[in-house]
Structures are given as C-alpha cells and as structure tokens.
Structure 1
Amino acid sequence: MSTPYSSVLDLFSLHGRRALITGGSKGLGRSIAIAFAQAGAEVVIVSRTLSECQAVAAAINSISDSKATALAADVTRTDDRDRLFHEAGTIDILVNSAGVNIRNPIETLDEKDWDAVLNVNLKSPFLLAQQFGPPMAARGWGRIVHLGSILSTISLAGRSPYASSKAGLLGLTRTLALEWATQGVTVNALCPGPFATEMNKPLLDNPEQYAAFISKIPMGRWGDLNEITGAALFLASPASSFMTGNALYIDGGWTAQ
C-alpha cells in the first residue's frame, strides 16, 4: 500500500534515511553524497583515503543540517568490508559508486589488470549488497543503486575489463531486484555517459579523444557532475518505489542512437 504524501516534493525526501556511498570522495560519488545530504539523509562517505572522505564530510556538514561521516575502506578487502559494515551503522541506501578503469587492448592486458577492475566494479558491489541488503529486507525498506555505465550495453575498444564489469553489474542489478522485490528493497542502476571525472582525465587531456567523444553525444557536450544527482535521488527516494531491476542512462543521448 502506498504512503500518502502532503507534497510531491516529499516523494524525493531522504529525511530519516542513512546512505552509504562508496567512491564518495570524488567525482560522481561525491556529487551524489552532497545531493543526498541536501535531501535530508545522513551520509556515510567511503573511499580508500580517509582525508578525502573527511573533506567531503566537512563540506557537507558546513552547508547541510544532515550529518556526514567519513570512513576509509578498500572495498576489495574482506576485512575492510566487514569493518565498514559494523562501523557504518544502519544503512537504508547503498550506492556502489567506487570504480576503476584500465584501458588497454587485449593483447597487452594483464590478468592482474582484469582482476583489479572486476574486483572493484563487480565483485565488491555484489559483496556489499550481500552484507547490507538483508538487513534492509528485514526492515522492509531499502535502496541499492549501482553505478553502471553506457558501457554496460555498448562498448569501446580497449575497455574489455571495464565493459565486462559494467555489463555484469546490470545482470546483478536485475537478479537482486527479483530476490528482494517483495521485501521493500529496490535495486537499480545509473548508467552515465562521459562525465568530467578524475577517471576520465586521460580522455579530457587528449584533444583528439575528447573531440571523438563529443562527436558521439547528440547533446554535443560532456555531462556536468551535478547532472547525475537528480537521477540518483530519484532511485534512492520513495519516488521510485515501483521501479526495480532497471537502469537509467544519463548520457546526453548517446545510447539513443
């Protein structure tokens, strides 16, 4: 049964919720963390570097009434994930934003590089969902948002581990959505196109590659970091209560072609 709201804007409120964002100290994860705090959530910002998480938490606490907490963790390490689960407290919203990309043609791609990308981009979201999802289901409410990519469904040369990890993440999203569909937990993915993040700095610094990307985007530009936040807030809020197992593409029209 749906809950009545006094205003449509209440559908997008995160007041009373606690969100954990991996990769929350930079790029898209940072923008999402700030937006969630502005929407009323308490946020837990996670990355491998505590000082970077603390800087984001301090920025949030200076502009928002919501509380931000910084925790350092390497999400590929079992002991770090276990510590994170115990230190983070009750989590209503899990955003798996941590990600890496190693760009090499398959002839020169090392197995360790393949493993490094898959461990961060696919294995850790699975293991974190396995930890944080069941308590959400037991409480009858939860949101899990995976950061996919346009490369979840298309590909580019030299990105075999990244594209494989992001395609796998959509499969994981759909499967978890079905498993928790009757327990109040939704699982969806955000699939961004080119955004000006640190991960994409090699492309931003290469005029030819930058122009090549622009030529593929119908809107003729890269995304601004703040343009991910509305979609993320939708997936984390009551507004998306009847949506699960799906993906939103924020890509300037790239995948519409």
Structure 2
Amino acid sequence: MTVNIKASFAFEFEQPTSALLQFEAADLPEQEILDCTTNITPTEHFARVGAQENIGERIWIRGEGLIEVDYTAKVQPRRELYDLAELSALSPHELPGEAVSYLLDSRYCPGDEFQSLVMKEFGDTSGGARIAAIRDWIYNHFTYAPGSSDPSTNATESFVARQGICRDFAHVLVTMARASTIPARYVACFAPGVEPPDFHALAEVFLADPELPGGGTWQIVDATGMADLNNTVKIGVGRDAADVSFITSFAPMNFRNSNVEVSADD
C-alpha cells in the first residue's frame, strides 16, 4: 500500500528564535519515500541535521514572526511485523549498545517506579507476551481523552489519571516495558485510522529476532489500538516525546494551528 500524508502547522515568534523541527517521514529500509515536498516560510537560518539513531532528520531554523510549514508525502511501508506473543526477550547482558539506552529512565518514562507493579500485574508473562499483555491492559484501562494531559505530563501521572492521548499511552507502555527489562523507545509517526487525525505516537520494543539467533528486532506497538501498524510511517524515535517533538522552541512561541491527513491506497 501507499500511505498519503498531508501535514501543516504554523507558529509565531515575537523575537528572533531558534527552533528544531522534526515532522517528515524518515527514509528507511522499512519504508520507501516515493515522493515528498516540504515548504517552510523563509527564515534567517535553515539547516538539516541527523535525528536520533539517524532515523529521519531534524531541521534547524532561526526566525521571527509567523512561520508556516506545509508537507506532503507518499510513502510505501515494507515493515516486517511478528506476532509479539511468539517473541522472546533478550537477556540484558546480550543487548547491543543501540538498545541499552532504552532500558534507562528518561524525562517522561520513570521505569524504576513501575518495577513492582509490572511484576505483580504481569509476572506470569515474559518477552513479547508481556508486551502484548501490557498493551492490552493499557487499552482496556485507559480512556483516550484529548485535553486531559499537557506536554509536562509523565507516565506516572498518566497511570494515576488512567487517561490521556497517544503520547501518554506510548509513555506508559515504554515505561512498563523498561520496568520489565525490555528496551523500549518512543516513536513519532503518521498512521491511517487515527482519530482525530494528527501526528501519532506509539512505542517500539526490542525483542529477540526469530530469524537471527542472538539478534534482536524492533517491533512497533500501539496501546491506543488506532494505528494500522503495517501502514504506519515513522518520523523519528527517542527516549520519550522530548526527543521527537515536531517542534522544539528555544524561546517563547505562539502556536497557531496544525492539520494532519493520512490515508492509505492499495
């Protein structure tokens, strides 16, 4: 299938300000960029830099006043997904360097706070079966409620409130996975089927590769249940939302609007 993406957003700076943008589909072996166009209001400075794990790119800008961004793309995902329940976990000492940092606590995902909980709730599971159980638990116990959280909400606060948006669902899943000694990272993406349409977030976990003895595979997981995983398009990955925000401003900013449309064609 081909995934069609249209995204636009606008923001305003009252003084010359630097900002980091990350909103384009990443060019990866698991997804081919067939066509894309990016238009950004001309600014004083514009430069592309590699993003986390070299998955996708970030754009540095420095400007003042109203800045508008328009992006369109056609992407063909070629992702290999396995049945989570059939995947084993790798022992911590077997993990490659790329996965180790995703075992550690981060700004929004304090895994150590959840260790006792995951043992009590999911202690009879392991590996991918535990991730599937965590995903289903979040889906069944949380309410998707736009406006119920803000950019400062972390996984502990979301767990207590039992509500949030995709960002919060992903943070809780990442946190519980790390508490289970399974590397997990936050994924910013575009996905058909998301309601309301918007930039989407889900988790990605590192488990044993069934086709490569001793190897591992990153597998995406969506606790909201909304994303079509086969046709999800990655923008970038990080320890949590702070690493993959579509706009990070280094001075006060007035955010004006955003619009995202994602569809899939045969």
Shorter-chain TM-score tier: under 0.3
- Which structure's residues are more often helix, by fraction? 1
More relative contact order, 1 or 2 (CA 8 Å, 6+ apart): 2
State TM-score, norm by structure 1.
Answer: 0.26
- Which structure's residues are more often strand, by fraction? 2
